[in-house]
Amino acid sequence: MRKLSVLLIICMIVCTLPLTSLADAVSVSDEGVVTYFNDFENSDASSYSKYGIATYKGKSTPYGTFSVTGDTTNKYFKATNTSKSVYPTFRVNFLKTDAVPKINSLAGAKKYKVQFKMKLSPTIQGALSLNCGGLWKFQFYSKTYAISCNDGNVTAVEGAQENGYSVNLENSGANPFREYEIDVDKTNNTCIFKVEGNKIFENVPLYKTNDFNSLLIGFSSLTGSVFVDDIKVTVTDTAECGDENYASAANINFDDFGIGMIPNSEITNVGGFENDNEPTGHAYIDYAYNSENPSEVNKFLTITKNKKETKPFSIKRDISGVVDDYSVYDVSFKIKNGLGTKSTESAFIRLADGSNSNNGAVISIRGTDGKIGWFDYSTGAGVSNISEKTAAAGEWTEIKARIYKDENKADLYVGDMENPIAQNIKTNRKTAGDYIVFAPQKSAVNSSISVDDIVITPVTKSDYVLTYTTGSDDLAKYTSSGVSAQCKIAIAGAQTPVIIIAEYGADGRLVNIAKSESAENGIVSAKLTNANAQTGENVSVMLWKSLDNPVPLKKLIKLLPDVK
């Protein structure tokens, strides 16, 4: 993940150090929690500026030394001050520009925690300051140090005196590394400060012009050394969509999403996207930046299969709110191939079918060479037709599919959005629904695909409109009196569709069924009567093109009984 950055304003002078891109590390847990970390193990004494460290100095010299030290088993960053009258400072940036280094990407994140280890080795009495939103001062005495917050304006929590608010250096071993944590809440612009996991200050507001985009550590009338290691920033919130009307959104570019994961939880629907088959993978909002103009951030959705299990992992979105009344529509998007090169690895994109199976218009990406293919069910289910078009690893590839819902066919475009590479592909729309589904397959362990710029374009209006009634109500309900449905034929002479209403018992067996008869005045209707309407039962309503061609034209409606 690349990053965006805003430089914190301070009254110090930046050292003229060569700054290059950061070789940071990113991990994503099985639950989809994104962590960025810097442990310095791959750094050396002269390369710390590549690892998210920017150094600053006061107005006079000497101003201290900065280096990476340690041994082959453990390295860490060291800052040393030799003059009480000078205040050398270093900053760890969390956000990215090309002007300063960084450790991670937090564009759009509202909640995250900053963790690091710090060892303090003072040689005289004085103070060390730490800025991240709030200001914490470590005041050193002969054998102890105390921590104050925002120049003493914030009171420590009850019991903090025993938990590390005042620390006895003499009883703490040979100046060991202590664990510090700052839990950031950018919605309220407050944070919590912890030492060794113990809460010391809470609801700490911003201090003057500070922000939460960096960690600034500086000497103040203090000589000696400070050591820092294992810097980690973990996003703790979930992705949010800024568009409340996502069900009808025809353009999805993820700019309104906050960074974070699409959660594997009971609340799976985020911005219209849902996890399928959890917990075999995870999806999160990732992004890149323009190196010439770092303020230009491009967000996208990354989907990763992280365990070798018996089923694939997928992210799906119901697009019926846009295309439900259309028989022909286009879906275009960009794909970035993050698959490995194993012959068994692949990813599928499915359109038109809301099932968990590989039905509908299926497009495939092969892990070995990135070649684009499709499934043409006219030659047998699951037959992969591989074209010469490829989705090169790490690059964006434009893809478009035109869906002919009534004909159960599709055209496929790759790169060239005007000339298809395949036409009239026989699809396998077994169940009703209009979905777009992105799925790294079960063999694609620790591999990913990224998706961006989804555009849904309705093309041809359907010649039918399905409605539901229960007696005088216009709502689709399953009661003891049954369910009624009707379809209005919009175009004269159009083929008459068939409405199927099916009642299923609690054990899943079909117990009652009704279908529409001939059309009257441009309307076909069906009514299921004498229903049981008992707990555990359900009724489904489906619109077929004809009895001979059971293509579901409309989304399957599954009704649970209205039991009173």
Q: What is the predicted pLDDT for the residue at 26?
A: 54
Backbone angles phi, psi at 169, to 5 degrees: -65, -35
Q: Is pLDDT larger for residue 432 or for residue 480?
A: 480
62 burial (CB, 10 Å; 0-12 / 13-18 / 19+) is exposed
Q: Which residues pair with 215 in a beta bridge?
A: 92
The span from the CA of 502 to the CA of 509, in Å, is 10
Residue 9 banded pLDDT, cuts 50, 70, 90: very low
Backbone angles phi, psi at 7, to 5 degrees: -80, 125
The span from the CA of 526 to the CA of 483, in Å, is 8
The candidate with the shortest Cα–Cα distance to 79, out of 52, 55, 115, is 55
142 burial (CB, 10 Å; 0-12 / 13-18 / 19+) is exposed
Query: What is the DSSP secondary-structure string of 495-524?
Result: PP-EEEEEEE-TTS-EEEEEE--S-BTTEE
The span from the CA of 136 to the CA of 147, in Å, is 7
The span from the CA of 341 to the CA of 344, in Å, is 8
Residue 359 banded pLDDT, cuts 50, 70, 90: confident
- Quote the percentage of the chain above a pLDDT of 70: 73
Secondary structure of 20-46 in HEC code, one letter for each residue: CCCCCEEEECCCCCEEEEECCCCCCCC
* Cβ 362 vs Cβ 478: under 8 Å: no
Q: What is the predicted pLDDT for the residue at 42?
A: 72
The span from the CA of 148 to the CA of 466, in Å, is 67
Query: What is the DSSP secondary-structure string of 335-370?
Result: EEEE--S-TT-EEEEEES--SSSS-BEEEEEETTT-
Q: What is the predicted pLDDT for the residue at 428?
A: 82
Residue 287 has pLDDT above 80, yes or no: no
The span from the CA of 278 to the CA of 312, in Å, is 9
* Cβ 387 vs Cβ 408: under 8 Å: no
Please tell me what DSSP assigns to residue 206: P
Q: How far is CA 516 from CA 214, 321, 399, 499, in A?
A: 66, 25, 39, 5
**Alpha helices of 15-106 — where are they, by DSSP H?**
none
Residue 430 banded pLDDT, cuts 50, 70, 90: confident
The span from the CA of 210 to the CA of 134, in Å, is 7
Residue 135 contacts by C-beta under 8 Å, 6 or more apart in sequence? 129, 149, 150, 151, 207, 208, 210
Residue 380 contacts by C-beta under 8 Å, 6 or more apart in sequence? none
The candidate with the shortest Cα–Cα distance to 405, out of 386, 421, 428, is 428
- Give the mean pLDDT of the chain: 77
Indicate the SS3 state at residue 455: strand
CB burial string 176-210: b at 16+ within 10 A, e below: ebeebbbbbbbeeebbbbbbeebbbbbebeebeeb
Token digits of residue 279: 């917990």
The candidate with the shortest Cα–Cα distance to 233, out of 26, 4, 49, 7, is 26
Q: How many other CB atoms sit within 10 Å of the CB of residue 486?
A: 16
pLDDT average, residue stretch 29-34: 53
Q: What domains sit in the chain, N to C, each tagged with a CATH number?
A: 13-235 (2.60.120.200), 246-461 (2.60.120.560), 464-559 (2.60.40)
Q: Which range has the top average pLDDT, 240-254, 302-316, 395-409, 429-443?
A: 395-409
Q: At 92, which helix (H) or strand (E)? A: strand 89-93
Residue 330 has pLDDT above 90, yes or no: yes
Token digits of residue 261: 């994961």
Q: What is the predicted pLDDT for the residue at 223?
A: 85
Q: What is the predicted pLDDT for the residue at 312?
A: 65
pTM of the predicted structure, to 2 decimals:
0.69
- To 10 degrees, the CA torsion angle through 286, 289, 295, 301? -20
Cis peptide before 312 (omega within 30 of 0): no
Residue 395 has pLDDT above 80, yes or no: yes
The candidate with the shortest Cα–Cα distance to 483, out of 543, 545, 559, is 559
Backbone angles phi, psi at 216, to 5 degrees: -115, 120
Secondary structure of 115-180 in HEC code, one letter for each residue: EEEEEEEECCCEEEEEEECEEEEEEECCCEEEEEEHHHCECCCCCHHHHHHEEEHHHCCCCCCEEE
* Cβ 66 vs Cβ 218: under 8 Å: no
Q: Which range has the top average pLDDT, 143-152, 155-164, 185-194, 529-538?
A: 185-194
Q: At 544, which helix (H) or strand (E)? A: strand 538-544
